[in-house]
Amino acid sequence: MKHIAILGSTGSIGTQALEVIRDHPELFKVSVLSAGNNAGLLIEQALEFHPAQVVIGDEQKYGEVKKALAGTEIQVFAGEEALIESVKLTVIDVVLTAVVGFCGLRPTIAAIEAGKHIALANKETLVVAGELINALAKKNKVSILPVDSEHSAIFQCLQGESANKVEKIYLTASGGPFRGKKIDFLASVTKKEALKHPNWTMGAKITIDSATLMNKGLEVIEAKWLFDLEPSQIDVIIHPQSVIHSIAQFQDGSMKAQMGLPDMKLPIQYALGYPDRILNTFPRFDFIKYAQLTFEQPDLSTFRSLGFAFEAMERGGNVPCIMNAANEVVVRAFLNDELGFLEMSEVIERCMSEVSYIRDPNLTDFMETDEETRKIAMQLVTNY
Ligand SMILES: NC(=O)C1=CN([C@@H]2O[C@H](COP(=O)(O)OP(=O)(O)OC[C@H]3O[C@@H](n4cnc5c(N)ncnc54)[C@H](OP(=O)(O)O)[C@@H]3O)[C@@H](O)[C@H]2O)C=CC1
Ligand SMILES: CC(=O)[C@@H](O)[C@H](O)COP(=O)(O)O
Ligand SMILES: [Mn+2]
């Protein structure tokens, strides 16, 4: 039996992880559930899964959760520091990091330092601090198991290939809702249009990132740290059907791809169950319904965020942290109708050129870079 803590249990990844766990009570037990402010769903989940602890990020919701769970043995906590403490609970084996954004970094570090394996959905953690996270994971002998579908695909392709080194990987990208569109079209797109992902149902932030191709940019950096690759070994290919989840090309010239219907429950299940495979009854792929699998080059001059990520990866230091913080600010501004679709990349570009460079950042540097960048980005947003 594996004991699982879920950071972000009320989100897209969190709720799908609970579906997997619900189907396998003989394999998994939930130890911690946490949410940002969706107290209602957190309470519902707690009453079904009976974790030892629940944490609600929004401290004003503490009373509501505490009252609803009175009479149970579930401990209730609130706030950011409580989230960080919760991952240290002795019984936990695996922490699933399914919160969105930079706020995933400190709880992930705390979990690694407490010797917990990480099922990593929160890609922003590795984007910001991949080198630091890898060093900590090595020191504490814990695994970072990818949940992101492309990285899970590569991870699955690598099984049994220790003697056949990776030459290159191809991360597939759907292209998002605006694939093939040009600048004049993108100038006036709305958040409603941007939130319509062609293949996946996900949280709002990652869905906007998919529309700008920043999601693929974040995934390129995530792949570098997960698989110890040079930038030249990572390629992105647009694959509108999202059936081939990614491809590894080996030094003997062979290529392995992992494919299937777009359904995050499989990568979640693989990370939670690893190294075991778990039987399931998820719908199976039908070739006739997908008669054509197609591929295209990404359009980097229109979707500039993907280029920013390659630049951030090359420059290293705190540049990926700057890019990530600026991106979080502009996505929120776009979702609040404060910024246009194309203006998002303008603000990110300005932040990447204006925030001070740090070559070998530590955690404090990352916290300060994140804070400084957010201030600059928010100021830039108000000027539009
Ligand atoms: N969705 C997907 O299919 C995929 C997602 N990912 C990555 O996984 C991560 C989660 O994505 P997704 O599930 O879509 O996001 P969602 O927005 O759907 O869910 C985010 C979760 O984090 C919680 N949360 C947000 N802020 C805080 C906070 N400050 N403290 C504690 N909890 C917080 C939310 O709580 P509340 O509900 O209360 O707001 C919610 O439970 C992201 O990094 C994303 O890039 C990667 C691959 C695929
Ligand atoms: C499901 C998943 O892993 C997402 O990150 C997905 O890849 C988003 O789709 P895009 O390929 O459009 O970025
Ligand atoms: Mn992905």
Q: Burial of 294 by CB count in 10 Å (0-12 exposed, 13-18 middle, 19+ buried)? A: exposed
Smallest CA-to-CA distance from 375 within 351, 344, 357, 346 is with 351
Q: Report the C-alpha gap between 251 and 163 in whole angstroms.
A: 10
Could you report the predicted ipTM of this complex, rounded to two decimals? 0.99
Q: Are 359 and 241 in contact (CB under 8 A)?
A: no
Residue with tokens 């994140």: 370
What residues pack around ion ligand 3 (CB closer than 5 A)? 148-150
Return all residues near 29 (Cβ < 8 A) that are at least 6 apart. Answer: 1, 2, 3, 4
149 marked ligand binding residue: yes
Q: What's the pTM value of the predicted model, to 2 decimals?
A: 0.98
Residue in this structure with the two tokens 């922490």, named with its chain if needed: 95
User: Strands 244-250 and 166-173: what pairing?
Assistant: antiparallel
d(CA 168, CA 223): 11
Residue 158 in 3-state DSSP? helix
On whether the CB atoms of residues 322 and 355 are closer than 8 A, the answer is yes
The predicted pLDDT at position 139 comes to 98
- For residue 142, the model assigns a pLDDT of 98
Which residues in the chain show pLDDT less than 50?
Answer: none
Distance 307 CA to ligand 2 centre (A): 17
Residues with beta carbon inside 6 Å of ligand 2?
148-150, 173-174, 176, 200, 206, 210, 215-216, 264
Query: How high is the pLDDT of residue 380?
Result: 98
Mean pLDDT of the chain: 98
Domains, the chain, ordered by start: 2-146 (3.40.50.720), 149-261+284-303 (no CATH), 316-384 (1.10.1740.10)
Structure-block tokens of residue 349: 């570009």
DSSP 8-state code for residue 166: E
Predicted local distance difference test score (pLDDT) of residue 291:
94
Half-sphere exposure of 335 (CA within 13 A, CB side): 15
From the list 214, 211, 4, the residue with the least C-alpha distance to 98 is 4
pLDDT at res. 342: 98
Q: What are phi and psi of 316, to 5 degrees?
A: 65, -150
| Amino acid in position 298 | P
Cα of 100 vs centre of ligand 1, distance in Å, is 4
Residue nearest to atom 13 of ligand 2 (CA): 210
